[in-house]
Structures are given as C-alpha cells and as structure tokens.
C-alpha cells in the first residue's frame, strides 16, 4: 500500500509541476508547432491525381493524397503516357504509403524498359516523399544518409555543326559553373559531305531512326570519322582539356563504325561514349568497350537492377547511366548504384523532367557512394525552378544542386506557375474512373 501511495503522490506531483510549467499560452504554442496529425502507422492512400506540363518536355506530375492531409509528389518520365500511372491507382488505394518497398513490389510488374516504367517509378517517388513527410526526415536519410551535400550537374547543349559555335556554347556552360559537359556528335554533321557516309540509297532518316543501329546498313568512312574526331578536338581546344566532355546521339550507325569512331575520339579525351548501340546487346557493347580506350556508357532505358548488374559483372560498359524515372525509382536506383559499385562501375544519372523528378534524383545521388554526375535537360528553360517552392532559387547554382534537409523531397508545388505551362487542360482533377480498375495480377499459380 505504501508503494502505491508513493506512486500516486509522484504522479500528482508531476502533474502539478507540468501544470505549473505549461501555462495555457505556452501549451497552445507548443501544440501549434508540433505535427500531431501525422501518425505513420495509420496513414492510408485515399487518392491519386495527375497534371501534365511542358518543362520543356512533356511530363506528368503525380500527387498521392492520404487520410491525414499530407500528399506526396512524383513524376512520370518525360514522354511517357499518363495511363502508365493511372492504371495503378486502384492497386495502391488503401495502402500505407510508408511501406514503400512493399507497394513497389506489388506494382513493379506493370513496368518495363524505357517509358513503360514511368508510372511505377513516378508512384515510387511520391511514396518516398510521403514517407519522409510523415516521419519528418529527408528522403536521403531514409536511404541510409548522404555521401555529399551538393550534386554535380551536367547539361546537354544545343548542337551546331560549326565546332567554333559548339565550343563557345559549351564554354559558356563552364563559365556558368558547370564542371562536366556533354554534346551530341551525330553522323548527320557529315552526312551530306561526299565520301563520309555509306547507307542504302533512298533510305530516309525516319527509316533509320526507327531501326536498331546494327540493322540500318549505315557506316562511317574513314573520312567521315576523321572529320567528326577533328570536330571534337576543336571543341576541346575551346572549352579546355581539363574538364570532362561526354558525347551522345551518334545516329544509328553500325557496330564497326562505332568502334572506328570511338578510337578516333580518343585524341579528344572524351569522358564517355553514350548509347552507341542499344543496351540489350551487352556482348556487342563489350566489343566496343574492349576496343576503345575511352569510357563507354549506357543505361537510361533499363528497368530494374538485374540488367544493370549483368552489364556491370560482364564489364560490358565502363559507366552505367540509369534514369531514375525508368530504372525503378529511388530505392531501386540506390540498389543499382550499390550493386554495380561492387563490380567497380560508377553510376552517372540520366534525367529530363521537372524539379519533382529532379529532386528525387538529388536524394538518390546524395545517398549513393559511386555517383558521378546528374543530367539536367532544362538548363535553358527559364521557368524550370519556378515550378516548385521551398528550396534555393534557382535550383542549379554554379553547376550544383544543394541536397535539401526538409522532409520528403523537400519541395512544394507552385500552382500559379504550373498552370502557366500545362500541356493539357486541368490541374490535378479527380480521377474516380480509375478507382476500381481491378484484375487478377498474381504472377504465380
């Protein structure tokens, strides 16, 4: 009895002390600054809506709403159909968004390589944003913390067939603070010069564009290769030999032309040759990689970690280049980086979209040790940073994006600005027609 009396006395004393300490105005102020609505274990998805913008590419923003009034933001990869996301709505309603990996494993069967993965990846981004907001921590922290405070950015640059013009454009990027450069280097720059290209007579550019590289019959002559390599050297002389300079978009030329061009570009000290042939032909990529003495890169169209790991283990390329909006989302891309690191392969990141997907990439890059550099296709889009609020403005400063410490992705949408750049009518309109799109999705009997 004495022990119980003592406990009652202590509880009463503690209550009296708390009452004395928490004056009414102090208690009210405390409650106003504390997020009392977020109870992660009780969080449930109640709705998903989309809106499409051009920034400058067509991109679909995703907003996932919950029963506790917080929402998460994601994005379908540039150029992908909004249907890829909407068809998954019925499969995530009622789920706890904090169970990111569980939901991802439930829906990942509905993605595939390239744009077809857009819905799965966009939803995964939004789930991480929601989980971070629910727990009050940035996404990178939930991935294990960060390796860096700023993310290095490279940007594509408008092409010119004049090396002086191209070099000056790239030099301006460097003067803006970018520490990694990239340019397109397509065979079209020599296509109309006699003796540079062989191809089937009468074949149109569209015909070859829709045909995989090895099946077009297009090859570069020694003259064509020489002119393209000289172009790269002249650009190098303008931008400097001390800064990484990557190349892309060579055209759908044959394997042997890829090897000839790659060897010729060695004298320009190119930092990587990107997507010379489709990624699916790992044995052929390895032929290029083994034949040239500059890095070969691929990966923007690959979905899920397995094919990345295969290419890394076979050393088919020197650098892997996932697009987070294709590869499976934030966690899957983090896994890709970690797994290819074990094979000695670094990870660059492809990105073309709005700041939503941009910041998803930033968090993933911060949390992945073997990260090299992140792409941004919207450097010349003046309103790009205006689409969101809450972070530095502009988002890219002197070639870097600062990793935010705010919960989730760290951004909120600027509704006024987004409505100026809608690709289709409507701003996150209701989508009840997708609430009950059900089927037997199980992959095993």
Q: 404 and 391 in contact (C-beta within 8 Å)?
A: yes
CA distance 86 to 433: 9
Structure tokens at 238: 């303008």
- Distances in Å between the Cα of 326 and the Cα atoms of 51, 198, 209, 350, 421 are 19, 34, 21, 10, 24
Kindly report the CATH number assigned to the domain that includes residue 53. Answer: 3.30.390.10
Domain membership of residue 291 (yes or no) is yes
Kindly report the CATH number assigned to the domain that includes residue 399. Answer: 3.20.20.120
CA distance 405 to 139: 9
Predicted TM-score (pTM) above 0.85? yes
> pLDDT tens track of the chain, all 445 residues?
444 444 444 444 444 434 443 444 543 444 444 444 569 999 999 999 999 999 999 999 999 999 999 999 999 999 999 999 999 999 999 999 999 999 999 999 999 999 999 999 999 999 999 999 999 999 999 999 999 999 999 998 999 999 999 999 999 999 999 999 999 999 999 999 999 999 999 988 888 889 999 999 999 999 999 999 999 999 999 999 999 999 999 999 999 999 999 999 999 999 999 999 999 999 999 999 999 999 999 999 999 999 999 999 999 999 999 999 999 999 999 999 999 999 999 999 999 999 999 999 999 999 999 999 999 999 999 999 999 999 999 999 999 999 999 999 999 999 999 999 999 999 999 999 999 977 889 898 8
In terms of domains, do 367 and 240 share one? yes
| Size (the chain), residues | 445
In terms of domains, do 221 and 76 share one? no
Q: Where are the beta strands (DSSP E) in 22-118?
A: 45-54, 58-66, 71-76
In terms of domains, do 182 and 321 share one? yes
In terms of domains, do 200 and 331 share one? yes
Domain membership of residue 12 (yes or no) is no
In terms of domains, do 121 and 158 share one? no
In terms of domains, do 265 and 312 share one? yes
Nearest alpha-carbon partner for 382 in 343, 439, 421, 425 = 421
- Supply φ then ψ for residue 302, to 5 degrees: -90, 135
Structural domains counted in the chain: 2
45-54, strands of its sheet edge to edge: 45-54, 58-66, 71-76
Domain membership of residue 134 (yes or no) is yes
Nearest alpha-carbon partner for 40 in 130, 122, 107 = 130
Domain membership of residue 445 (yes or no) is no
Domain membership of residue 143 (yes or no) is no
Domain membership of residue 9 (yes or no) is no
Residues 152, 317, 294, 399, Cα dihedral to 10°: -10
Domain range for 299 is 150-408
CA atoms within 13 A on the CB side of 106: 17
Q: 250 and 186 in contact (C-beta within 8 Å)?
A: yes
CB neighbour burial string for 376-388, b if at least 16 within 10 angstroms, e if fewer: bbbbebeebbbbb
Residues 226, 227, 232, 238, Cα dihedral to 10°: 130
């Amino acid at each position: 009895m004495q022990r119980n009396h003592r406990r009652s006395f202590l509880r009463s004393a503690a209550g009296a002390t708390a009452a004395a300490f928490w004056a009414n105005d102090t208690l009210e102020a405390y409650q106003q600054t504390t997020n009392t609505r977020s109870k992660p274990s009780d969080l449930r998805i109640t709705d998903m809506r989309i809106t499409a913008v051009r920034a400058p590419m067509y991109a679909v923003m995703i907003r996932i709403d919950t029963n506790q009034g917080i929402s998460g933001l994601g994005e379908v990869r540039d150029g992908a159909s909004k249907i890829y996301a909407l068809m998954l709505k019925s499969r995530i309603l009622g789920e706890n968004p904090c169970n990111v990996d569980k939901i991802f494993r439930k829906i990942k069967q509905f993605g595939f390589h390239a744009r077809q993965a857009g819905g799965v990846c966009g939803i995964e981004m939004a789930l991480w944003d929601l989980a971070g907001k629910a727990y009050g921590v940035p996404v990178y922290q939930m991935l294990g913390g960060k390796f860096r405070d700023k993310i290095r950015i490279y940007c594509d640059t408008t092409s010119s067939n004049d090396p002086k013009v191209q070099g000056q454009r790239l030099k301006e990027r460097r003067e803006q603070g970018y520490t990694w450069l990239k340019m397109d280097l397509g065979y079209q720059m020599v296509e109309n010069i006699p003796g540079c290209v062989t191809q089937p007579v009468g074949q149109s550019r569209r015909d070859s564009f829709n045909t995989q590289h090895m099946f077009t019959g297009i090859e570069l002559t020694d003259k064509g290769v020489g002119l393209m390599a000289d172009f790269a050297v002249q650009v190098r002389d303008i931008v400097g030999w001390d800064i990484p300079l990557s190349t892309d978009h060579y055209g759908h030329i044959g394997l042997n032309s890829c090897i000839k061009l790659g060897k010729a570009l060695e004298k320009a000290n190119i930092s990587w040759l990107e997507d010379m042939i489709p990624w699916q032909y790992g044995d052929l990529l390895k032929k290029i990689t083994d034949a040239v003495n500059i890095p070969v890169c691929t990966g923007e169209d690959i979905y899920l970690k397995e094919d990345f790991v295969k290419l890394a283990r076979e050393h088919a390329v020197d650098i892997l280049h996932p697009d987070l909006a294709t590869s499976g989302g934030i966690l899957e891309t983090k896994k890709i980086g970690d797994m290819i690191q074990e094979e000695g392969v670094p990870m660059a990141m492809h990105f073309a979209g709005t700041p939503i997907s941009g910041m998803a990439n930033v968090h993933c890059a911060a949390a992945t040790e073997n990260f090299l550099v992140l792409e941004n296709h919207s450097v010349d889009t003046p309103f790009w940073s205006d689409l969101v609020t809450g972070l530095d403005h502009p988002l890219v400063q002197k070639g870097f994006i600062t990793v935010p410490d705010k919960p989730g992705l760290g951004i909120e949408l600027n509704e006024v600005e987004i409505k100026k750049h809608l690709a289709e009518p409507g701003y996150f309109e209701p989508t009840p027609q997708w609430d009950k799109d059900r089927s037997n999705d199980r992959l095993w009997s």
